[in-house]
Structure 1
Amino acid sequence: MHSHEDITLESGTARRVAIWQAILVVPLALATLIGLVLLWPADSPAGSVPLVADSVTIETGTVTEIGDTDESGATDIRMMLDQGTEVPVHIPPEIIDNGLDVGDSIEVLFTPAAVGTGTPYIFWDFERDVPLWLLIGLYILVVTVVARGKGLAAVAGLGLSLAVVVVFMLPALLAGQNPLLVVLAGAGAMMFSSIYLAHGISIRTTTAILGTAGGLIVTGILAIIATDFANLTGTLTSSALSLTAYDIQLDQLLVCGMILAGLGALNDVTITQVSTVWELRSANPNASVMQLYKQGMVVGRDHIASTIYTLAFAYVGTALPLLMAAAVLDRSFLATLSTGEIAEEIVRTLVASIGLVLAIPLTTGIAARLARA
C-alpha cells in the first residue's frame, strides 16, 4: 500500500511529466492550428467544374430487361426511369459482362440532341447510395458492439479526419497552396483528432502523439529523398494529368500521398507500443527503463513483422489490375517493377514501412522513459 508521501511523490512526478509533454506537444498543436488558418483556402476551384454539359442531365432508373447480343455486339437493354417511362439504354459490353443484372439501379446520361439516334440514354454509373450506407451502418454497429464507447469515439475521430481531407486539404491543394505544408498541417490535425478522440487526453496518449509525430517526420524526409532519387514525377496516371491545369507540383503531391499513406498505421503502432509499455510497468513497478524498452520491443518486433506484409498486401490488392496488365508484357520481372506507376507504389509502400518501423523503437523508448518516471 502506498503511503501519503508516496502518493504525493507519484502525483508530483506525473505533473512534471505532463509539463514536459506539454512543452513538446503544445507547440506542435499550435503549429498545426496556425498552419490550418494560414493555408485555409479562401478561394478554391473545388467544385467549380460542371460534371456534365449544360444540355445533358443525369437520370436514374432500374434495369428491366437485358436482351440477347446481336452479331454487331450490341445488346438490347431497357430500363424504367424513376418518372415511370421505359426507355432503351446503351451500356458498354464490359459493364454487361461484369455485374449488370435486371433490377439494378443505374444512372444514365440523357442527351436531348441524340433523341433521333435512338440512344439518347447512355450508361453513367450504378446507384450505390443504399449499399454504401448499409455497409457504413453495419461497420458502426460492429464497432459499437465490440469496442463500445471507445469504438464509437474512434469512428468519430475517423470522421473528423476525413473531414480534414475534404474540407481543408483538397481545396487547399487545388488552390495552389504548398503541398508539403498543407499535408503536414492536415496530418497534424488528423493525428490529434484520431488519437485524442479515440483514447482520450492523457500522458499515455500524448506519448503516442510524440511517437506518431516522429514517424511522420521520418516518413516525410524519406519521401522527399526517395521521390527525387528515383525520379518519380507523379504524372503517370490520368487522374494526376487532369490536375496539370491547376498550379500544383505533382511530384510534391506524390510526396504528400506517401506521408498520408503511413499515418493510419503509425497511429496504430504507436498506441499499441505505449499501451504495452504501460502494462509492463503496471505488472512490474520495479522494472528499469531498459527492461521496459527491451520487453516492449518484443511486442514491437512482432508488430514490425506483421505490418511489413500488411502494407505490401494492401498495395497488391488495390493494384491487381495494373499488375496483371504489366505481367502480360514481354519484359523481365525487375524491369516491370521499375516502370513508373508500379515504382511509385513500391516507393510509397517502402517509405511508409520504413517510417513505421522506425517509429516503433522511438515510441517504445519514449514510453519506457515516461512510464518509469
Structure 2
Amino acid sequence: MSKSILNVIKDYIDNHKKEKIKYLSIIIISLMIISFFYNNYFLYDTEIAKINSIDEVFEGEEKGPDGDIEKNYTQNIIATIKNGDFKGKEVIIKNKYSSSLVYTDKYKINDDVFITKKVDKNGDITGNITGLKRDKYIVITIVIFILLLILVGKQIGGLVLGGLIVNIGVFYIMIHLYSKGINILLLSVLATFIFSTAFLMISSGINRKTFAAITITLVSVAIVTLLSIIILQYTGGLDYEFMEYLPKPYNTLDADYIFISEIMIGGLGAVMDIAITMVTTVNELIDKNPYISKTDLKNSCTEVGNDVMGTMINVLFFTNLAGCIPIFALSIKNGIKLTTLLTTYIPFEIARFLTGSIGIVITIPIATYLSTRTLKRMCNQ
C-alpha cells in the first residue's frame, strides 16, 4: 500500500517536473527584473537620492476653502545621492507638506526621490525634491499582472499577453505618428482595425470564430462612430473648452476628431468582448449539434446577449465614473459646485459612456445575425 502511494507521488512529480521548472524560472526572472528596477539609478540623468532619516516639525494650522483645518509640516530630510558625480554624498532636503496631501507629498524613509541640488562654499549639499521615483512600483504591478495571467491562464494567458503587447506597440506608433502631424482620426481608424484583428488572432487563433468576431467588432464600431459623427454634425457639437489635455487655442474640427477617436477606441474593448462571447456561444452550440436550427441559435444568442449586456454596461459606467472621481474630489474640496461640474467637465464622460453603451447594445443583434449566418453556413459546407 505504501509503495503504491509512493509510486503515485513519484509519478506526479515526474509528470509535473517540467511545468514546475517553467513556473520557477518565470518567478526567478520576475524577481530579477524587480531587483533591477530597485537599483537602476545609473539609467537616469536626473540625480536620485534615497532618504535615510526624517525629522518632522509641525508648522501650524490654517483653514481651507471648505472650512476644514489644514495642518502644515516640514520634513528635514537627510538622503544619500545614488547616481551622478556626487554619488554616495549626503544631501540635506527640506520638504513642506499639508495634511490633505492634495498639492504636496509626504515622504518616508527609504523612498527614492528625484532632486535638484546646490553646493555651498563649505561643500555642504542641499537640495529640493522634484518627485518620487515610482518606476519600481509600476514594474511590481506589471510583474504581478503577468505572473497571474500566465499562472492562471497558462497558454491562453500567454497569448493574451502577446496580443496586449502588440496593441501597446501599435498605440505607441500611433501616438508617434500623430506627433509628426498625421490626422488623429485616420490613425484611430487604422489602429482600431489593427487592435481588433491582431488581438483576436493572437488570443483566439486564426479560425472561423476569430474572423466572425473581427467582422462583428469592426461593423459595430463603424456604426457607433458613424452615429457619433451624425450627432455631432446635427446637434451643434460639444463645448470643448473644458476637455482634458486639449491644446489651446483649438480648432473645432481637430477637437471633433480627437473626441470621435476617443469614442472609437474607448468602446472597442467592450464591443470585442461581446463579439467573442456571442461567436463562441454560436460556435459551441454548432459543435455540439451541427443540425441546430438558426431560430434556436438566435434565441440562445439573445439570452446570452441579455445576460452579458447589463454587466458590460456597468463595466463602462464604473470605468468612466472612476475617471471622474479625482475631478469631483478636488473640485468639491475647493468649493466648486456640483452643477458646475456636471455642465463643464462631466459631459465628456457621459457622452463616452452613452456611446459605449450604444455600441454594446448594437453589437448583440449584429453578432447574433452575422455569427449564426456565417458559422452555420461554414458548418454546412
TM-score, with structure 2 as normaliser:
0.73
Q: How does 1:330-369 map to 2 (within 5 A)?
A: 331=337, 333=339, 336-339=341-344, 341-369=345-373
Distance 1:87 1:247 in 2: 50
8 Å Cα contact 1:173/1:248 also seen in 2: no
Q: How does 1:151-300 map to 2 (within 5 A)?
A: 151-167=157-173, 169-227=174-232, 229=235, 231-237=237-243, 239-241=245-247, 249-300=254-305
Secondary structure in 2 matching 1:64? strand
Distance 1:368 1:139 in 2: 35
Change (3 A) 1:67 1:261: same
Secondary structure in 2 matching 1:241? coil
Long gaps (5+) in structure 2:
1-44, 61-71
2:283 aligned partner, one-letter code: W
Secondary structure in 2 matching 1:231? coil
> What is the match of residue 75 of structure 2?
75
Q: CA deviation at 1:256?
A: 0.8
Secondary structure in 2 matching 1:102? coil
User: For residues 230-266 of structure 1, what are the alpha-carbon distances to aligned partners after superposition, in whole Å with 9 as ceiling and x for unaligned?
Assistant: 6325442563237x69999233112211211111222
8 Å Cα contact 2:313/2:360 also seen in 1: no
2:47 aligned partner, one-letter code: E
> What is the match of residue 105 of structure 1?
112
Change (3 A) 1:175 1:262: same
Change (3 A) 1:109 1:187: farther
> What is the match of residue 27 of structure 1?
none
Change (3 A) 1:109 1:252: farther
Long gaps (5+) in structure 1:
1-56
User: For residues 101-120 of structure 1, what are the alpha-carbon distances to aligned partners after superposition, in whole Å with 9 as ceiling and x for unaligned?
Assistant: 211112223478x999x996
Change (3 A) 1:284 1:92: farther
Distance 2:104 2:184 in 1: 41
Distance 1:358 1:284 in 2: 27
TM-score, with structure 1 as normaliser:
0.75
Distance 1:308 1:159 in 2: 26
Secondary structure in 2 matching 1:240? coil
> What is the match of residue 63 of structure 2?
none
Distance 2:251 2:114 in 1: 29
> What is the match of residue 8 of structure 2?
none
8 Å Cα contact 1:235/1:241 also seen in 2: no
Change (3 A) 1:115 1:97: farther
**Which residue of 48, 54, 66 corresponds with 1:60?**
48
Change (3 A) 1:289 1:175: same
**Which residue of 156, 167, 174 corresponds with 1:150?**
156
Larger radius of gyration: 2
Q: CA deviation at 1:133?
A: 1.9
> What is the match of residue 34 of structure 1?
none
Distance 2:232 2:158 in 1: 37
Q: CA deviation at 1:89?
A: 2.7
2:351 aligned partner, one-letter code: V
8 Å Cα contact 2:91/2:126 also seen in 1: no
Distance 1:330 1:87 in 2: 41
Secondary structure in 1 matching 2:46? strand
Change (3 A) 1:193 1:233: farther
2:93 aligned partner, one-letter code: V
- Tell which deviates more after alignment, 347-356 or 120-129: 120-129
8 Å Cα contact 2:76/2:95 also seen in 1: no
Secondary structure in 2 matching 1:58? coil
8 Å Cα contact 2:90/2:125 also seen in 1: no
> What is the match of residue 371 of structure 1?
375
Distance 1:157 1:115 in 2: 57
Structure number with the bigger relative contact order (C-alpha 8 A, sep ≥ 6) is 1
Change (3 A) 1:115 1:212: farther
- Tell which deviates more after alignment, 255-264 or 206-215: 255-264
8 Å Cα contact 2:178/2:184 also seen in 1: yes
Distance 1:133 1:332 in 2: 37
> What is the match of residue 39 of structure 2?
none
Q: CA deviation at 1:267?
A: 1.6
Q: CA RMSD in A?
A: 3.0
Bigger strand share? 2
8 Å Cα contact 1:176/1:246 also seen in 2: no
Structure 1 segments (4+ residues) deviating >4 Å = 95-99, 244-248, 326-333
